Amino acid sequence: MISTVAHLKKGDTVGIVCLSSLVEPEKLGNALAFLDELGLRYKIGDTITAKHDYLAGSDNVRLADFHAMVQDPDVKAIFCVKGGYGSARIAGKIDYELLAENPKIFWGFSDLTYLHCAINEYANIVTFHGPMLMAANNMDELSKKMFLQLFSPIEIQYTEAISPLNVVAPGFARGPIIGGNLRRIVSTLGTKFEVRTEGRILLIEDIAETIPRIDSMLQQLKQARKLEQLAGVVIGSFTETGASDEALLVLMQEYFGDLEIPVVAGFKIGHETTNIAIPLGVDAILDAQEKVLRILPGVY
């Protein structure tokens, strides 16, 4: 069973890092101001100002920054401020046993999907798929409210009160929710961090991928036999596809419609102003008839 992490308290210190593309540190102000609103203190990692071509420092620098935050007893959570690309380059060098012995909140999405898969599997702790802090100024109030789950257990119940939902396939499922960015999920295939889907509810989202490219990625998952034993599918935000929502739904129907599992689309989880944060690795309920995704308090 996956391990939980301690909740935050006002006044706690959190670590600010970038494990992917380089950061423009002059734009960090909004992120730090948001942490101030949450009543948190922060330590800024070396990766915030580091540069190595398109990355926030060399692989060794990013790895060392992550390990330093894990080892620091004052740091109760690690927030990644930006995605892009780069986290996969350090995944094979992370000391997961160190993280398991010093469990703390890990927060981010997009490129960090690769590390969500790795940490859930090899450190066996809950991680959080949520907005990057660099986007704090562009988050709506509902997305900001989702950070409160880090302080105390709350019931996450996503219904059509948040956004219209479309049933791709009917059914009811309960199982661990995993996944994130579709491109990064596919990039785990054939590696030691290959996404495990058996009996799990898979979340997928992406940005700036055309319908043919999304088709190609879903086809790769299918041929890798990752769709056969799924418990359910949560289809998040697919933005900047260059196509209509209807075209995306038709594609999803082709891949998921005959699996005899619940599949629901339209969740504002991903690259949008509304980006609902959820814990990964914990049990969730997906009910296509009621059009609800539920994560109960007390399970993370």
In b/e form, how buried is each residue of 74-100, taking b as 16+ CB within 10 angstroms?
A: ebbbbbbbbbbbbbbbbbeebbbeebe
Query: In the block, which residue shows the tokens 């661990």?
Result: 176
Q: Which of 87, 110, 187, 237 is catalytic?
A: 110
Distance separating alpha carbons of residues 78 and 64, to the nearest angstrom: 13
The pair of three-digit structure tokens given for residue 136, joined into one six-digit string: 């704090």
Distance separating alpha carbons of residues 112 and 80, to the nearest angstrom: 8
Report in angstroms the alpha-carbon separations of 209 from 164, 180, 181, 191: 22, 14, 11, 23
Note if 272 is an active site residue. no
Note if 129 is an active site residue. no
Q: Which of 20, 187, 205, 272 is catalytic?
A: 205
Note if 52 is an active site residue. no
Return all residues near 84 (Cβ < 8 A) that are at least 6 apart.
Answer: 20, 21, 22, 54, 110, 111
- The residues annotated with a catalytic role in the active site are 110, 205, 271
